C-alpha cells in the first residue's frame, strides 16, 4: 500500500494547468509545423521525377512521421484528460485505481493519469 500523500494544493494544480496548456500548444504546434513542412516540400518538388531511392527515403520518413504522430496523439489525449481531471477535481488520482499519483511524478509528467506501476503494467502487456 503506497504511503499517504498530502492533498495537492490549489496553487500546484493551477501551476499544472498552465503547464498542461503549454504542453498542448507545443504538441499541436509540432504537428502543425510538420504538416506545413510536408506541404511546402510537396508544393516545391511535387512535379519532379522521383527515383526509386527517393521513394524509399520518403517511405522511411513517412514511417518516422507517423510514429511521432502516434506518440503525440497519445500524449495529447493524456493532456486533455489531465485538464479534464482538473475541472472535475480529480487531478492527481489514477484513472485506473483512484490511487494518488505521487506529486514527483506529476511534476515530471503533468499529463500522468496513471501511477507509474499501472502504466508499466500496461506497457508490459502490449505486444
Q: Could you read off the pLDDT of 67-125 as tens digits, one per residue?
A: 666 667 889 999 999 999 999 999 999 999 999 999 999 999 999 999 999 999 999 99
- Residue 11 to residue 36: CA distance in whole angstroms: 37
pLDDT at 9 over 70: yes
**Average pLDDT value for residue range 36-45:** 59
Position 1 scores a pLDDT of: 42
Domain span at 35:
10-39+61-125
Helices (H), the chain: 10-45, 52-88, 103-108, 116-125
Instruction: Decide if 2 is inside a domain.
Output: no
Q: Which residues on neighbouring strands pair with residue 100, listed in sequence order?
A: 93
Tell me the whole-structure pTM to 2 decimals: 0.69
Position 56 scores a pLDDT of: 66
Position 55 scores a pLDDT of: 66
Instruction: Decide if 103 is inside a domain.
Output: yes
CATH number at residue 67: 1.20.120.910
CA distances from 80 to 5, 7, 25, 108, 111 (A): 24, 22, 11, 17, 8
3-state secondary structure of 112: coil
Instruction: Decide if 47 is inside a domain.
Output: no
Cell numbers linked to 15: 501551476
As for how many domains the chain has, the answer is 1
Amino acid at each position: 500500500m503506497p504511503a499517504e500523500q498530502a492533498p495537492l494544493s490549489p496553487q500546484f494544480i493551477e501551476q499544472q494547468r498552465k503547464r498542461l496548456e503549454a504542453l498542448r500548444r507545443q504538441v499541436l504546434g509540432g504537428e502543425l509545423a510538420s504538416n506545413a513542412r510536408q506541404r511546402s516540400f510537396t508544393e516545391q518538388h511535387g512535379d519532379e521525377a522521383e527515383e526509386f531511392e527517393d521513394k524509399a527515403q520518403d517511405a522511411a520518413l513517412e514511417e518516422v512521421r507517423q510514429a511521432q504522430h502516434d506518440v503525440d496523439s497519445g500524449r495529447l489525449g493524456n493532456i486533455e484528460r489531465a485538464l479534464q481531471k482538473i475541472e472535475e477535481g480529480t487531478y492527481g488520482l489514477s484513472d485506473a485505481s483512484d490511487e494518488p499519483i505521487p506529486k514527483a511524478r506529476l511534476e515530471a509528467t503533468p499529463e500522468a493519469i496513471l501511477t507509474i506501476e499501472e502504466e508499466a503494467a500496461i506497457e508490459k502487456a502490449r505486444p
